[in-house]
Amino acid sequence: MVETIRENPVAALVVACEVAFWVFLVAAVAARYGLRWRRTSTVLLLCEPLLEVVLLVATVGDLLRGSEATWTHGLAALYLGFTVGFGKLTVHTVDAWVAWWFAGGPRPARPPKHGPGARSHEWRLWGRVVVAWVVSAAVLGVLLLLAQDAAAREVLLGWLGRATVVLVGWFVFGPVWTELSSRGRPADDRDPAGDRRPVDAR
């Protein structure tokens, strides 16, 4: 285990950042709804972006120290893009459900399956994918400038290709599919279960 971490420090840091993300998030909602410490909860949530900064600095710094670019650096770039694109939505979703379970808040409404609401929801989600792709591509671009040889650049370009496949695939099976399949169907934006707070993709 120690040897694996030593050989792949960037990958280990990605895992550590993901674990820390959920630790901070659980601690934040526990402080807010369990202990009623709203200020402490806010401080804990503000620690989330610091994880991204730490990972970015560590990933770039690893190449600046002369390390060869590997799959771990590409993974870190995509992870950074995902956290920027979907981190806020994840926090909002968890907060909404915890508020309903433990604080008497309204039950979060699930996204509509068809109609204008569904189309709008899918387009907003895909907008987050675009943000994730742009951030990942920007980080990969920096890493490409620091890569020392053609083989390392090829590895990083491969990760850019993977990110692009996700971008295009999400576009086709997300907003495009919803646009085509929900045309002419009645909207189901209203929740028959009563007053519920929607978990929006914005």
Pairing of strands 107-109, 196-198: parallel
Between the CA atoms of 130, 136, 138 and 140, what dihedral angle is there, to the nearest 10 degrees?
Answer: -150
Under-70 pLDDT residues of the chain: 1-7, 183-202
Q: CB atoms < 10 A from the CB of 115, how many?
A: 19
- For residue 1, the model assigns a pLDDT of 56
The Cβ of residue 102 has, within 10 Å, a number of other Cβ atoms equal to 13
Percent of the chain, pLDDT > 90? 64
Q: What pLDDT does 17 receive?
A: 94
pLDDT digits (tens, 9 = 90+) for 35-93: 889 999 999 999 989 999 999 999 999 999 888 889 999 999 999 999 999 999 999 99
* Residue written as token pair 């989330």: 48
Instruction: Report pLDDT for 23.
Output: 95
Task: Give the C-alpha separation, 108 to 96, whole Å.
Answer: 6
Nearest to 157 by CA among 170, 167, 144: 144
Please choose, from the candidates 81, 72, 52, 68, the residue with its C-alpha nearest in 3D space to the C-alpha of residue 9.
72
Tracing tokens 């399949």 back to the chain, one arrives at 181
Q: Are 29 and 95 in contact (CB under 8 A)?
A: yes
**pLDDT in the model for residue 5:** 60
**CA 141, 77, 111, 25 torsion-angle sign:** negative
**Predicted pLDDT of residue 186:** 59
β-bridge partners, 107: 196
Count other C-beta atoms under 10 Å from residue 134's C-beta: 15
Q: Which pLDDT belongs to residue 192?
A: 38
